Structures are given as C-alpha cells and as structure tokens.
Chains A and B, each alone.
Chain A
Amino acid sequence: MTPKRRKRLILIALMVAGVGIAIAVALKAFNENLMFFYTPTAVAGGEAPAGHLIRVGGLVTKGSVKRQSDGLTVTFDITDYAETIKVQYTGILPDLFREGQGIVARGRLQKGNLFVAEEVLAKHDEKYMPPEVADALKTAKKNGAVGAATGGETP
C-alpha cells in the first residue's frame, strides 16, 4: 500500500467513524423525541406514562371550559365519549378552540390524571377533525360508548 493510499484510507475511515457517531446520536435522540398519542380512554386506563411529553386529543366537552381569575389559565375536559380527562392550559388558546371542537394537546400527565398542556392545537378548519381524534371517537364508539346520547354530532 502506497503512503498516499494509506492516507486516503485513514481519511475515509475517519469520515465513516464521524458520520457513524453522528447518526447514532441522532437516532438515539429520535427515540427520545417520539411523542405518542393517547386517547382519553387510554389515559383513563393508565396506559399513558405520567411526566412524559405526550399528546392527547378529543372533543372539548360542552360547558366544561373554565377560566381562572388570572384570565389566562383555562381548564376544560376532553372526551372520546367513553372517558373524559381534565386539561389545564395557561396562555392564549388557538383561534378555533371552542366547545364541541376536536383538539389535540401536547403536554404532560400529572398525578390524578390532570393533563397540563404546553400547547393546544385546533386546526384552521371548522369541519376539520384531527385524524387522531376522529380515530379515537371511532374506536370508542365501536367499544360501545354512548356517544349519541351526549349529542355525538361532529361539529
């Protein structure tokens, strides 16, 4: 092997090693940053890990939105008609947030199944239902939830 060849080989080996390390780091971070989605039923069933960043979604129960005295902290219930969880959020709610609307919230589950949201998403379309929420409703209905009784029209 000529010295030139060896130099090139070392360089390539260094490059491969560097790239390998970077990929490993990125993939590890990838696994840590996956946010799973849970339905209210799953949360009530204890499937969702407490303290981890997760997403939950459902319809905002009518009459459940309560604003605290500071004017910024809001609590409301979200439901898939089978189970309900309480969500707390401090800040400006999105334009399309309203009772009866399907929303997705990102945040952490506290003790007592209170979900503290860091972000609340309601898409910019009245007819739009977050796909996860639509699915959650469908599954709950299949399992015999009494959705129709609570006015199960999709807003």
Chain B
Amino acid sequence: MIPELGHFALILALSLALVLSIFPMIGSLNNTPGWIALARPAALGQFFFIAIAFGCLVSSFLTDDFSVAYVAQNGNTLLPDVYKVSAVWGAHEGSLLLWVFILSGWTVAVSMLARHLPAVVLARVLSVMGMVSIGFLSFLLFTSNPFARVFPVPLQGGDLNPLLQDPGLAIHPPMLYMGYVGMSVAFSFAIAALIGGRLDAAWARWSRPWTTVAWMFLTIGITLGSWWAYNELGWGGWWFWDPVENASFMPWLAATALIHSLAVTEKRGAFKRWTVLLALLAFSLSLLGTFLVRSGVLTSVHAFATDPARGLFILIFLCIVIGGSLSLYAARAPSVSSGGRFDAFSRETLLLGNNLLLVIITAFVLLGTLAPLIYDALGWGKISVGFPWFNRMFVIFTPFLVVLMGMGPLTRWKHQDPGDLARQLRVALLISLGGGILGSLPILHKGSIWAGLAVMLSLWIVCSLAISLRQRLRYRKGLAGLWQDLGTKGSGSYYGMVVAHFGVAVFIIGVTFVMQYNVEKDIRLSPGQSTELAGYTLRFDGVQGRQGPNYHADRGTVHVLKDDREIAVLHPEKRVYTVQTKPMTESGIDVGFTRDIYVSLGEGLGNGDWSMRLYYKPFVRWIWFGGLLIAIGGLLAASDRRYRIAVRDQLSALGNDGLIANGGS
C-alpha cells in the first residue's frame, strides 16, 4: 500500500511539474497575472508530493518491506536504523529520488525566500526549475522506479554495500546533491534572464547568494567524500582522481569561476555574457556528473548496452538541456550590452584571469575523465589517465591562481596603478619568499622544493589578506572595530572571501605536506613485535575476534609510542559483513593537528602474524580543515545583509518599467 502511495505521489508531482513549467512561463510572456500566480502553489504542491514519495521509500526501508525491489536489494533487517535511512540513497533509483526531492526543495526555497523578486522573473525562474524537474521525474518514473514490486518476496534483503555503512557517507550524498541541484537555481536565473532579455546587475545580485549557497554545499560534499575515502577505503588516500570524484569536482570548479564572475557582473555590470555562460556550464557539468556516475557509463561504455533505455534517456535529456540553453544563449547574447569598461590593470582583469584559469582546469579535468571513454569508443585501445597527470596539471596552474588571489582583494575596480599595488604588497612578497626558502630547507622535515613552494604560496595568500584587512579596518581599531565592521552592509561578502581564501592557503599546505612527507610502510608483524615509523614506535599486540551488529571482525591492537611514552592505542579491523560476505578494512587512526598515524590490517599470515600497512600522514587534517573554511566563507558571503536590503531597493527601481505584472512583494 505505502509503495503505491509513493508511486502515485510521484506521478502527481510530475503533473504539477508540467503545470509549473508551462503556465507560469506562458503567463509571463503574454502577461496573464493568473497564470503567473500559479508558479508558487505549483512549486509547493510538487514539493509536497515528492516529500510524500520520499517518506514512503524511507518507511519501506524502516519496516523492511522487501516486496519493494529496491528495498530488497539494498535493505536488511539487521541494518541499524540510521543506515536503513541512508540506504534510501545508496543506489541508483533512490539517489535519483533524493535528487528530485532536493530539487523540489530548492524550488520551494526560491519561491519563499525570493519574494521580493518581480513576479514575472520569479515565475520564469520557477518555471525553468519545473522543466528540469520534469526531466528527472520522468527519468525516475519511466526507467528507474524505486517503488517497483518484486515477486516472490525475499525473506531477507541484499543489504547496503558495507562501504556505505559509515556516518560520513550517510550525509555525503545529500550534501553533494544539495550542491549539484543548487546549480539549477543559478541556471534557472540565467535562463529566466535570457528569456526576459535583461541581463543586468540586478540579475547578478539575485542569483549570487543562491549560487554561493549551492557552491558551499558542493564544497562540503566534496570535502566529506574525501574524508570518507580516507577513513573507509583503508589506503590512506584522500583523493584518487576517480571519474566519480571528478564528476563532482568539475561543477565545483565551474561554480567557483561563476561566483567570481558574478561579483564582477554585480559590482561593475561587466562580463554579463560570460557569467551567463558559466551558469549554464556549471549546471550542465552537474547534470553530466550525476548521469555519468549513475549510469555507469564511466566504468565502461558498455554499461549503455546493459540498460539502453536509461542510457538513451540520459543522452536525450543532456542534449535538450545543453542544446536548448545554448541556442537560447546564442539568440539572446548579441543583444546584451557590454557593460562597464575597465583598464588593462584592474580587479576586473585579475578576475578574468581567475576565470580563465579555472575554466582551463575544468576543461583538463573533463579531458582526463572522458579520455578513456573516447579512446574506447573510437577503438584506440583501453587507457586510463594516471593521477600523476592530474597532480602535475594542478601544480602548473595553481601558482598562477594563487598569485592572482593575493593581488585581487587589494586591487581597485576599473583602474589600478601597478606601482601602488606593488608598494602595498612588498611586505607580503618578502615574507612569502623568505618563508618559501625556509620551507624548502631541511628544518622540520627533510627539505623539499615543493614544500617550499607551498609555504610561499600560502604565506602570499595569508599576508595579502592581512594587508587587505588592515586597510579595511584603518579607521576602526581593535576587536571592537572588527565587530562593528562585521555589522556593516557588504561585510559578509568581504569576510567570506577572507575566510575562503585563507582556507585555500590551509588546503595548499595540507596537500603538499602530506604528499611530500608521507611515510608508508607495508610490514609483517608478529604479536608483541614493534616497528619504527617516522619517529614513532608501533607495537602490535595481536588480533582478537569481535562480533558486530551485522558483521564479524578481526580486531587488531596497535600501541603507538613516542619516546617510550604511549600516546594512543589503535584498533584497526578486518570486517566480514554477514549478508554480502564482503571483507572490509576498517583503519585505526590516531588523529593529530600536524600528523595522523594510520594503521590498516592486511591479512592473517598464520601463527598470529599479520601483514599490515602503516602510514605517517603529516598535515593531512589541514586538507579537510581548508575545505571546511572554504565552505564557511561561502556561508558568510551568502548571508551578507546587503542581499536582503538591496533586493528591496531593486524592486522599487524596477517597479517603474512595467516588469512587475502583479505586485510581487
């Protein structure tokens, strides 16, 4: 009964999505207030029914209703309740349901929070989001129904993949999807603006906070994914340049370019066409990512053949979205004015450089991700692109980005005197060069030119931020001054930028140090035996059996000693999950601010001996700490007071030129 309810709710949601995408749009074109007014209730109704469907699937998992095929494949009575809920998005059908659920959530959020938008614009934005929703809902209903029944009903479910039974992964997909789907808001604002033919500062201001919030979620999602991989995969790696990871990283890169470009469009009215194009690109890459991951195309081209219906649907939908939006762009872009002028050396130019670099990096990641697919399809052989290439590419481009990052905040809009800027940045340059030289000398660790480069780049960012802060707080002294400044209009954006850029500096240190000074050791140990690892002594105390809720584990005990003093006891495990009988490595990690000690069990070699993998990972936490700071920066920027105030001002300005069909506020 409940699964059918969910199914019907999805069908109703699809009908409402049709209403949402047709009537408000037509109404906005021929000025029919009644049709325009349909947008909000339709969005709300769609959300309501998708929420019901989602609730139905959750309840099917919680009650172990194995007559539902999807639950039978991914659920299990022994699964803890938390993982029963997270199993909802553990595989293809359910994760698509989560996708549309979040999409309808964003749609409602826009309809509620963007009340100050002119009704016509709001109707168009919601309408475009409705169109995206149609695509996903029909994909769900016609090819991947999560509520399909199975007969005969199995007595026990197939269980959630043990790898996914981890708190990090329970919240990683929702965060990532919040980001992916959030890009649809930026996309819809861009399409609405193209339809209306009005690409101006007001449009940029409206879509900016939404884009920033979506980008923040994407940042959190990627950071969580990386943290999960480190904890759960047992190989001590935090990023693998896996196609699935790249699929989330490309939209992030494009969105990063977009939020910078939106700043220019909002403040100076320039880069309009470019900004729109980036908004289309970011969402297209989100779609591409979702589909590539979910269709399994990336593991093999032949996955298309295993389910032709899904593959074909994906291709057609992608073509419609990308092709449709690009043709609209081609039709409208020439009529867009070119906006504010700027000199060769100005903040606009630097941000243009930022955009250029980010887009190039995105293109390269796309190349590396799709190359195996292209080679295979053209019969040039089976290849994979080694991660050294991806790494090298980032080493080539990041320094340029960082140089711009240091200069940007201190550079004026429109025109900047280079000599002036050089004087301001002289101290930052000296400190970072000095730090770089010190960093490459063997003082704390053995010397490395790359570590020196990382220290230099990070110091460059930090020092230039400090200089910029000092200038900003010239007339406000001390902490009280800072507090006062935080309350002003526009401060959210500024401090968001400071925190996010600082996060990049932290991230660079983390990445470089862990790659340069990482110590890895594969070893065979007998109980009682000790080994050295980067100045620490690790003593192995044997392995005992342990019974978990839905698995059996071999649990090792490793004592970590520094200077004969015990600092930690680690319990790496080798688990075998009862249902899927998959062995799983659960690593034992001693977490530290400047280093992690990471132990994972290999296999038993008889006589109580085990093979083991030991890692010393310096500064690895800084990677996720940096990611977190970047996300917090996004939150600060999006919460800027001026968006709330300014929207009202814009409204009164727009009220005069007849854009508001029926008073939107």
Contacts and interface: CB of A to CB of B under 8 A. Distances in A.
Nearest to B345: A11
* Residue in A7, A53, A91, A93 whose Cβ sees the most chain B Cβ within 10 Å: A91
B12 interface: no
Interface stretch (B243-251, B258-266, B388-396, B467-475): B388-396
B582 A95 contact: yes
A29 B613 contact: no
Interface in B573-592: 574, 580-585
Contact of A22 (B302, B368, B396, B602): B396
A96 B582 contact: yes
Contacts of B364: 26, 30
A22 B611 contact: no
A144 to B, nearest CB: 22
B161 A124 contact: yes
A35 B603 CA distance: 29
B29 interface: no
Contact of B397 (A15, A22, A67): A22
Contact of B381 (A22, A37, A125): A37
B343 interface: yes
Interface string A12-46: 00010011001101100110111111000000000
Contacts of B360: 19, 22-23
A132 B602 CA distance: 26
A55 interface: yes
A72 interface: yes
A125 to B, nearest CB: 8
A8 B343 contact: yes
A29 B387 CA distance: 11
A93 B384 contact: no
B522 interface: yes
A136 to B, nearest CB: 9
B565 to A, nearest CB: 29
A92 B612 contact: yes
Contacts of A22: 360, 396-397, 400
B294 interface: no
A40 to B, nearest CB: 14
A135 to B, nearest CB: 8
A28 to B, nearest CB: 10
Contact of B384 (A11, A26, A37): A37
A23 to B, nearest CB: 7
A36 B382 contact: yes
Given A8-B343, A126-B582, A131-B302, A34 B385 contact: yes
A33 B392 CA distance: 10
B163 interface: yes
Interface residues of B, number: 48
Interface string B354-367: 00100010001001
A135 B300 CA distance: 10
B524 interface: yes
A18 to B, nearest CB: 8
Nearest to B576: A95
Interface in B222-270: 234
B148 interface: no
Contacts of B353: 15
B310 to A, nearest CB: 17
* Interface residue SS majority, chain B: mixed
Interface in B341-383: 343-345, 349, 353, 356, 360, 364, 367-368, 371, 381-383
Contacts of B381: 36-37
Given A22-B397, A93-B603, A7 B613 contact: no
B344 A7 contact: yes
A71 B393 contact: no
A70 interface: yes
A138 to B, nearest CB: 10
B541 interface: no
B299 A131 contact: yes
A105 to B, nearest CB: 12
Given A11-B349, A19-B360, A124-B161, A131 B384 contact: no
A140 B344 CA distance: 62
B386 interface: yes
Contacts of A70: 524
B609 interface: yes
B380 to A, nearest CB: 9
A142 interface: no
Given A4-B344, A23-B360, A30 B385 contact: yes
B605 interface: yes
B75 to A, nearest CB: 18
Interface in B391-412: 392-393, 396-397, 400
A90 interface: yes
B522 A91 contact: yes
A132 B603 contact: no
Interface string B456-467: 000000000000
Contacts of A92: 522, 600, 602-603, 611-613
A29 B371 CA distance: 14
Contact of A35 (B386, B522, B602): B386
A50 B562 CA distance: 44
Nearest to A97: B603
Interface in A58-74: 67, 70-72
Interface of A: 4, 7-8, 10-11, 15, 18-19, 22-23, 25-26, 29-30, 32-37, 53, 55, 67, 70-72, 90-93, 95-96, 124-126, 131-132, 135
26 contacts: A4-B343, A4-B344, A8-B343, A11-B349, A19-B356, A22-B360, A25-B396, A26-B364, A26-B396, A33-B385, A34-B371, A34-B384, A36-B383, A70-B524, A71-B605, A72-B522, A91-B522, A92-B602, A93-B602, A95-B582, A95-B585, A125-B161, A125-B582, A126-B580, A126-B581, A131-B302
Given A23-B360, A37-B384, A93-B602, 20 more contacts: A8-B343, A8-B344, A18-B400, A26-B364, A26-B396, A29-B392, A29-B393, A30-B389, A32-B389, A33-B386, A35-B385, A37-B381, A55-B384, A67-B605, A92-B612, A92-B613, A95-B583, A95-B584, A95-B585, A124-B582
Of all A-B residue pairs in the complex, the 3 with the closest CB atoms, nearest first, are: A131-B300, A33-B389, A71-B524
